[in-house]
Chains A and B, each alone.
Chain A
Amino acid sequence: MKGIRTITRQGLDISLKTEYIPNLQIWKPMQVGMWAWLLHRITGVALSIYLLIHISLMSIVILRGQAFFDALLGMLMGSKFFKVFDLVLLAAVLFHSINGIRLILFDIGVGIRHQRELFWVGTAISAALFILATLRLLPEIVS
């Protein structure tokens, strides 16, 4: 159990000094950085699961041949549920990628002191792109 105590003590030191590296043992519900970390992790896991399904399914469909491919994609892409799911997927991809760019900036020492502002800027960019995509896809979902 010594390892867990060490990580907690180290995590506490880092979190108190930088307010950037969240630690599971220190839950700060109102801290933006904690939410950014949690959402990044949730979207990451969700996208990993989606990637596993996407690669497996598409590979099987392609190897089964043209008729099967056309039938399955016709069914999926004609479905409104699939189009809505596509938007949800896009939202996850946008948040994870833009927050990831924010994290890479921190890795090279840029903007650590403005991590909250950068989070909101990134979220605004994600939201703007998401709205554009939704407006583009909305006629197909509604029709």
Chain B
Amino acid sequence: MKTGVTARGPRHALRWSALVALSWAMAGSTLITVLPVASGATVVRHSRAQATRSRAQSTLTVAISDPPVSMDPAHDDNGNGLYTAELAYEPLIWENSNGSLSPGLAVSWHYVSGSGDRAFVLTIRQGAKFSDGQPVTPKAVANSLNYFSTGSGPTTADFKGVKASVSGSDSVTLTSAKPDPIFPTLLSQDYLAGDIISPAGLRNTKVLAGTPSGAGAYVLDTKETIPDTKYVFTRNPYYYDPSRIHYKEIVIEVISNPTSALEALRTGQVDLDLNAEAEQITTAKSSGLDVVETGAEAWDGVFLLDRDGSKVKALASPLVRQALNYAVDRPAIARAVFGVLGQADDEPTTPGWDEWVPSLANYYTYDVAKAKKLLAEAGYPSGFAMSLEYAADEAQTQEMVEAVVSEWGKIGVQVKLKAEPTISALAADLANARYTAVSLEWGSQPMFLQVGECWLPTSVLNPFHAEQPGFVKEFYAASGAPPNHITADMQHLSSITIEQGYVVPVAEIRGVMFASQGVNGLPTQLPGGHLNLVDVY
């Protein structure tokens, strides 16, 4: 006999209790879900409608992939940091979306004739004010420039040794011991030196790291801002050109996950997605979003570091380096690795920059037979062994390296690969000169900077201190040349690096961004793919 249990009563009661429990659980969950949805649904409709109005009247929300390194231009980098910097700081010179230059806080500029590009004069705009209402004076400009040259950001290296001094009631003169033919570019918003910091900001640089203090069109709203996540900018009431302020508020959101960024754009939470990827283009188009492909911003390839043959004798031969170039099927790799945004590139730059040599485009066609012939001529008919390091956190570079190494294997070149975990680790290891080649995605830049960073014996990307006879002398001569000679001189230097095979470029990489319909002022098909947020409307 079963104790306390009858055939029907307790089991019936159990089912009833279970139903009640399940009902409570479902009711509770429904309440948790429905209550906010009921109020939130209204908010969604309201928010979507608001988002539509926002773009037109009050708020532009932009998604970027990483936060700025610092709000202090002297310690910021010129990656994502440029978006916040150009809102808060007015540069001396603006680089426009089409690559031309126009006045910012400087209304005009010129090199001092006969100075060999060592002295540069700026005329400062009258009537401009910082966000605290204080006037922008030549002394404030000079102090800011001199402070910048003491900074630790990556672009400060281009400004080391430059001295700024007040040279008139409205002028500032920059002097440099070495020729510098690209002062206008360095003083644009792209290289941060020209982002003038207010005297109040310079008095407290610790605060400046988190709170910008400039003369830009917008001011950081520190109450609404969450560092590393969301930066809210409101209008600067003292800005000298109010017609250039199109929004009451610009919000920059850090959304590191590209999928999350696209979903935020699709739901109207974001108006402009700068963390877009090639693989998302189809989805973005089918969602009715604007897809803007910009000009190439960077290129990817292999830098041949051991050009003096210290470790691998073969690499000292230009014939060998040319062979490595001829052995790579650039169109196939660019298509496979970089998709619609990649294009074959055999110059260590991209179209539109001063070192791009139009006559040398497609200089290295894919020709395995020619590559083998060159190796044989150099005395390496069976190939040779070398080493190459890259950063594992650059996924496309890794794929490209594997493809290139496979191609080189066909001509007998064996490559020992080393994957550093991050680009920082790679940069730290570079100076040790342990590997004869390195693969990096490299941003396009003026030839003057490229040579300084890559081809001089003291360059960061020249750990073996390789020196092409006459190259350095020709570089310094070109640097001090009159403006109408510089481009031709720089292109000649660039030709040397291409013809001598200093590097094996593989693909130029175009940029892409997604926007809600109705967002205007975005650049298209421009050299450098330059976006100025202040120009968006």
Partners in one complex: no
